[in-house]
A and B are shown apart, each in its own frame.
Chain A
Amino acid sequence: MTDTAPSITREQTARVQTARVQTTRVHTALFAEVTQKLRLRAKELLESGEVVSVIGWEAGRFENQTTPAFITDANKVDRLIFNEYCANTLGKYVLSEKLDGKVAVCVRGCESRGINRMISDNQLKRSEVYLLGLPCPGMVESPEVSHASEPSHAPEASSKLLSKCAFCTHRQPVVFDEYLGTCEATDETLGGLIPKPIDPSERFSDVEELEALSLDERNAYFEKLYNNCIRCYACREVCPCCTCRECFVDQARAGWQGKQNNLEENRFYNLTRVFHIGDRCVECGECERVCPMELPLMKINRKMVKDLTTLFSVPEAGLDSETISPLNTYDVADLEEYL
Chain B
Amino acid sequence: MSVVESNSDFQPTVLAFCCHWCTYSGADLAGLNRMNYPANIRLLRVPCSGRVNPQYVLTAFNKGCDGVLVCGCHPGDCHYVSGNYFAKRRMMAFKRLLEYTGLEPERFQIRWISGSEAGKFRDVVTQVCEEIRALGPLKHSASFEAFAEQGALGTVNALTPANKAEEVVEND
Contact = CB atoms under 8 A, between A and B. Distances in A.
Interface of A: 1, 5-6, 8, 10, 13-14, 16-17, 163, 207, 209-211, 213, 215-225, 227-228, 248, 256, 263-265, 267-268, 271-272, 274-275, 278-279, 292-296, 300, 303-304, 307-308, 311-312, 326-327, 330-332, 334-339
A224 B150 contact: no
A304 B93 contact: yes
A337 B92 contact: yes
Nearest to A16: B159
Contacts of B142: 223-224, 227, 263
Contacts of A217: 147, 155-156
Pick the most buried of A211, A219, A256, A263: most chain B CB atoms within 10 A of its CB.
A219
Interface in B132-169: 140-144, 146-147, 150, 152-165, 168
Nearest to B141: A263
A221 B75 contact: no
Interface string B99-142: 11111100000111000000000000000000000000000111
Nearest to A331: B85
A223 B144 contact: yes
B4 interface: no
Given A13-B159, A220-B147, A338-B111, A300 B101 contact: yes
A217 B159 CA distance: 11
B160 A225 contact: yes
13 contacts: A220-B144, A225-B160, A256-B59, A263-B142, A267-B58, A267-B62, A271-B97, A278-B97, A296-B160, A300-B97, A303-B97, A307-B92, A330-B86
B59 A268 contact: yes
B6 interface: no
Interface string B50-92: 0000110011001000000000001110000010011011111
Contacts of B154: 6, 10
B10 interface: no
A217 B147 CA distance: 8
Contacts of B44: none
